[in-house]
Amino acid sequence: MKPTLFLLAAGMGSRYGGLKQLDGLGPNGETIMDYSIYDAINAGFGKLVFVIRKDFEQDFRDKIISKYEGHIPCEMVFQALDALPEGFTCPADRTKPWGTNHAVMMGADVIKEPFAVINCDDFYGRDSFQVMGKFLANLPEGAKNTYSMVGFRVGNTLSESGTVSRGICETNEKNLLTSVVERTKIQRIDGEVKYIDDNGEWTATADTTPVSMNFWGFTPDYFAYSQEFFKTFLSDPKNMENLKSEFFIPLMVDKLINDGTATVEVLDTASKWFGVTYPEDRQSVVDKIQALVDAGEYPAKLF
């Protein structure tokens, strides 16, 4: 069974004002998402599922889905503030979505096979889709609790325009994830990758240290765990009072690892991640994509 690619697109309108996030960065106006989908199709993924806001549906269908439909089956699911388990109601003043793992939960009715989750505005690169596609395709029929994450080498994920936040991963001898620690200030200083540690000191880390860029691989049992743990999350008054609290994927993954319920294999990739973290990154992204096209990694026109 071919794996599915689940694209987190629900935040597009809020963060970028309409569909501006679908900024044409490739030589023929291709978006970062176009490259991800092209790479996913070539890596053997069999279906796309987009999670979006309901009020975006027509716009999204016209401008985006129409482009891919001839190449791969596509579905849409919707993230809404009131999509909560029975017995819970959304605080009246809340406007912020409930976070990435809540978005993933919206796929439960349409995804019955192993699936990968990505951000739709991050350039992950061909090799990362190959390693994830291979992992998911090789899972035995009906596999459960065997998850994965693409661990990008931190040196391949930095911005030339300033510091970045990354989840620095710790693994055991079997390359299974043991923890992800969010470091909010990472950059290259005098040739070395450094981050600010808990004591406020710059600490060096190897270029090859794996970091999470929100590229996860799950089996469908993940949905039931998420639905249960989301009730626990909502039952904490702190999370209801804080109108910006979010149910993130790492929160769920962390719980499953610590409980011993699931394992998450960290998949190494040589791919270089990039994205528009700062407005001044845009030209550098355009140049990097052009260089990949010039090198024959991608055709000048994708779809």
User: Above 70 in pLDDT, residue 171?
Assistant: yes
Domains in the chain, ordered, with CATH?
4-144+212-295 (3.90.550.10)
So what's the pLDDT on residue 12? 60
Strands (E), 173-295: 177-189, 192-196, 202-205, 210-218, 263-269
Per residue in 44-54, pLDDT (tens digit) is 999 999 999 99
Distance separating alpha carbons of residues 282 and 287, to the nearest angstrom? 9
So what's the pLDDT on residue 11? 66
Distance separating alpha carbons of residues 219 and 109, to the nearest angstrom? 13
Q: Which tokens hold the place of 80? A: 């809404």
- pLDDT > 90 in the chain, percent: 81
Q: Are 216 and 227 in contact (CB under 8 A)?
A: no
Q: pTM of the full predicted structure?
A: 0.93
So what's the pLDDT on residue 15? 43
Q: Which tokens hold the place of 59? A: 């716009």
Q: Are 223 and 215 in contact (CB under 8 A)?
A: no
Q: What pLDDT band is residue 14 in, cutting at 50, 70 and 90? A: very low
Per residue in 70-100, pLDDT (tens digit) is 999 999 999 999 999 999 999 999 999 999 9
Contacts of 141 (CB under 8 A, 6+ apart): 1
